[in-house]
Structure 1
Amino acid sequence: MATERKRNPNGAGTITKRKDGRYQAAVYVLQPDGTRARKFAYGKTWAECDVKRRELLNKVHSGIPVPTRSAKLSEWLPYWLEHVIKPHRKRTTYAKYETHARLYLNPHLGTKTLEKLSARDVRAALARIAKATTAATAKESHRVLRSALSTACREELITRNVVKLVEAPSVDVYESSVWTLEETLKFIFVARRDPLYAAFMLAVGLGLRRGELVGLRWQDIDLDSMTVQVRKQRQRVGGENYEDDTKNRRKRALPLPVLCVAPLRWQRMRQQALHAKAGDSWRESDLVFTTRTGRPIEGSNVLRSFHRLSAKADVPRIRVHDARHGAATLLAAGNVHPRVAMEILGHSKISVTMDVYTHVPDALKREAVAHMDRMLGRRRR
């Protein structure tokens, strides 16, 4: 008959017999906050207890947290942000999630344990967040919490995600403003002598994002072959201006519109003059759009210049990002296939191009209706 093992190797836990006749396994396991604590499991026999010990060890070796007590949401969220979101998501995403966890989720739900958090708790918290801020903020908090608890489910800390039982707050769809062709031409005329004229032409002509504009490098532009490679963008998070991959990490090669070539040539000559004037204080970066000393320009400065020129041109005040909508509209007006427009604008899904960005002009609607009239009229004859 095999003898009961009294001692396991270091780190493998221990099994002891209690005074009441049951067996007790003890294993040091990882906690949601990153620390280690002793976890106990019990069984009527040594073999039953050993099975539970091995299950705990498997989770330890896989890096799965096993709380010795039911973790509070305020304990789980920091762990999730640090070990799940930070290593695998963009810094802007981490910053947004951390803000929602700190300002909204922890104050309203932080004291709740993961196991006892109910759909009613979540629904009440989202209502309070919406009342104190906006429905859009509450909807984003709903998304952050749902993602955090989905990870908790995968790591077997809870058996179900109660946030999925709660409908997200409804938010009115943002209706962006789009300039007409005449308004776009008025803006271009006024912006011709602005230092960021080339940037605005790229925004209007190719729909480049603001971060892509300030992150554009000369090495990615070939004015002779009239092409541009959109590889990187620049963002500001936590007071740091840094280079990052483009949204959705999609790199795209685009032909340059003829109207963008001359402004870019002018921008290069202007930058060379600034370099000569700055002398030793110039900071080489290869960026297309820089300050007078060669340093990266802030996206907020691009926005301020855009609004200033919009007012001077007497056109509606819109976001720089709305220029992407205008570019999509011009592509639609030119009967460019949506798949081509998707590649130019750098969307991850064609549904984004169709449902969000392409605003069909009234002229195209009238043309479509006139075409239907012609087709139906032919049938009647």
Structure 2
Amino acid sequence: MAKRNPNGAGTVTKRKDGRYQAAVYVVQPDGTRARKYVYGKTWEECDQKRLELVQRDRQGIPTPTRSAKLSEWLPYWLEHFVQAQRKKTTAAKYETHLRLYLVPLLGTKSLEGLTPRDVRTFLAKVTKQASAATARESHKILRSALTAACREELITRNVASLVTPPRVVSRELRPWTLEQTLAFLRAARTDPLYAAFVLAVALGMRRGEIGGLRWSSVDLENRVLRVGRQLQRVRGELYEDTTKSSKTRPIPLPTICVVALRWHRMCQAEQRRAAGESWEETGYVFTTRTGRPVEPTNFYRSFRRIATGAKVPVVRMHDARHGCASLLIACGVSPRVVMEILGHSRFGITMEVYTHVTQDTQREALDKVDRLLRRGR
């Protein structure tokens, strides 16, 4: 007489067609429990499959009783894998791609039934609907979601990794020249956010890093500041987070930054006295008239307005980082030092900027050679 399995270990029975069937209650990806059936030609084969299901269940590994659809897995992955581990800005970007592209175009496909052809068709539709860059980002997100499904042993292969994403033509970097940078700073001298733009141009600080800068991180006596926080607004929520690299980087302050910050501190003290009891002490360097932090978008609004008034090309405030890199490289600073100053998370990012600027420098040098040679003809 066969021994009875303990509670929760499932059962093995013989079917009318001669095969054996095992049934085990397992946890689903959504947290519920349901009965999972496996089959085998012999009792031993079926019992081995039963033991594997029991082992997975005891380890807390979800086992779907049917192949989950992408419309079910992707939101689950976003909530339990992305939102719990990644930055809010990353989770918000992923949620947008799920809502606009992945779920509408691939949601009816099952995890096990998804094919490389389905992924290629999906990428073509997104490229036509939005752009190649958007399709490439959606491919990256899908690949990450399927990698998690592989780790959960819901599928045996990641079909997204078998498909090459669309090729994206990089946007040509056109940082301001030295003359344009000086024209912008002259026009910004009377603006309340002048010191912020000096930090953006001279140190290449990101907009969020400037907004999240506190006086406690600024040492004007020793001429150094520490960049370790940033201010972001996501889904209507203004919050403070770590920097993109999640590291604090000390930056020595050049004289132009020290002078601008000292003047800004004096102006802020006057604003504090004028506001009186309505002043809210937050400790931020750049604040409104009542002491609250400046909205990240307001930095760019002022930046764009000043650039227009100075009659220089209106670029993204983030492009000022490339202008800073251009100045540093023109001064002979090594790529590793440029990386540390700008706070790039990967050395490859620095090298992309460095290579572009170096090519411009080489072109200028060869143009000078060309003029000298032509003069001698």
Q: Distance in 2 between matches of 1:310 and 1:361?
A: 26
Aligned equivalent of 2:66 = 69
Aligned equivalent of 2:104 = 107
CA contact 2:10–2:25 (8 Å) conserved in 1: no
CA contact 1:138–1:169 (8 Å) conserved in 2: yes
CA contact 1:119–1:162 (8 Å) conserved in 2: yes
Q: Distance in 2 between matches of 1:369 and 1:188?
A: 29
Match of 2:179 among 152, 174, 182: 182
Distance 1:33 1:186, change over 3 A: same
State the aligned residue count.
369
Aligned equivalent of 2:375 = none
Match of 2:2 among 4, 8, 20: 4
Which residues of 2 match residues 109-258 of structure 1 at below 5 A? 109-258=106-255
Shift of residue 22, structure 1, vs aligned partner: 5.3
The one-letter code matched in structure 2 to 1:330 is: L
Residue 84 of structure 2 aligns to a residue whose secondary structure is helix
Shift of residue 47, structure 1, vs aligned partner: 4.9
The one-letter code matched in structure 2 to 1:279 is: G
Higher mean alpha-carbon deviation, 34-43 vs 108-117, is at 34-43
Deviation per CA, 1:104-159: give whole Å up to 9, x if none. Answer: 01111110111111111111121111111112111111111111111112222112
Deviation per CA, 1:48-100: give whole Å up to 9, x if none. Answer: 44432332233223332211001111111011111111111111111111110
Which residues of 2 match residues 5-20 of structure 1 at below 5 A? 5-9=3-7, 12-18=8-14, 20=16
Shift of residue 362, structure 1, vs aligned partner: 4.1
Higher mean alpha-carbon deviation, 362-371 vs 124-133, is at 362-371
Shift of residue 43, structure 1, vs aligned partner: 4.2
Shift of residue 367, structure 1, vs aligned partner: 4.0
Residue 296 of structure 1 aligns to a residue whose secondary structure is coil
- Relative to the length of structure 2, the TM-score reads 0.92
Q: Distance in 1 between matches of 2:310 and 2:196?
A: 17
Aligned equivalent of 2:372 = none
Match of 2:358 among 357, 360, 368: 360
CA contact 1:203–1:209 (8 Å) conserved in 2: yes
Q: Distance in 2 between matches of 1:196 and 1:85?
A: 35
Residue 247 of structure 1 aligns to a residue whose secondary structure is coil
CA contact 1:34–1:79 (8 Å) conserved in 2: no
Match of 1:340 among 320, 337, 340: 337
Higher mean alpha-carbon deviation, 175-184 vs 42-51, is at 42-51
Q: Distance in 1 between matches of 2:65 and 2:316?
A: 50
Deviation per CA, 1:320-343: give whole Å up to 9, x if none. Answer: 100000000000000011111110
Q: Distance in 2 between matches of 1:249 and 1:138?
A: 27
Q: Distance in 1 between matches of 2:367 and 2:24?
A: 73
Distance 1:42 1:158, change over 3 A: same
CA contact 1:146–1:163 (8 Å) conserved in 2: yes
- Relative to the length of structure 1, the TM-score reads 0.91
CA contact 2:325–2:353 (8 Å) conserved in 1: no
Higher mean alpha-carbon deviation, 186-195 vs 151-160, is at 151-160
Shift of residue 34, structure 1, vs aligned partner: 3.3
Shift of residue 208, structure 1, vs aligned partner: 0.3
Distance 1:365 1:170, change over 3 A: same
Shift of residue 196, structure 1, vs aligned partner: 0.7
Shift of residue 281, structure 1, vs aligned partner: 2.1
The one-letter code matched in structure 2 to 1:246 is: T
Q: Distance in 1 between matches of 2:360 and 2:127?
A: 36
The one-letter code matched in structure 2 to 1:314 is: K
CA contact 1:29–1:66 (8 Å) conserved in 2: yes
Q: Distance in 1 between matches of 2:368 and 2:307?
A: 35
Aligned equivalent of 2:302 = 305
CA contact 2:68–2:110 (8 Å) conserved in 1: yes
Q: Distance in 2 between matches of 1:86 and 1:222?
A: 35
Distance 1:284 1:25, change over 3 A: farther
Instruction: Note if 1:294 corresponds to 2:294.
Output: no
Q: Distance in 2 between matches of 1:250 and 1:233?
A: 11
Deviation per CA, 1:296-320: give whole Å up to 9, x if none. Answer: 2111100000000001111111111
* Pairwise CA RMSD: 2.2
Q: Distance in 2 between matches of 1:46 and 1:363?
A: 75
Higher mean alpha-carbon deviation, 119-128 vs 226-235, is at 119-128
Distance 1:206 1:112, change over 3 A: same
Shift of residue 44, structure 1, vs aligned partner: 5.3
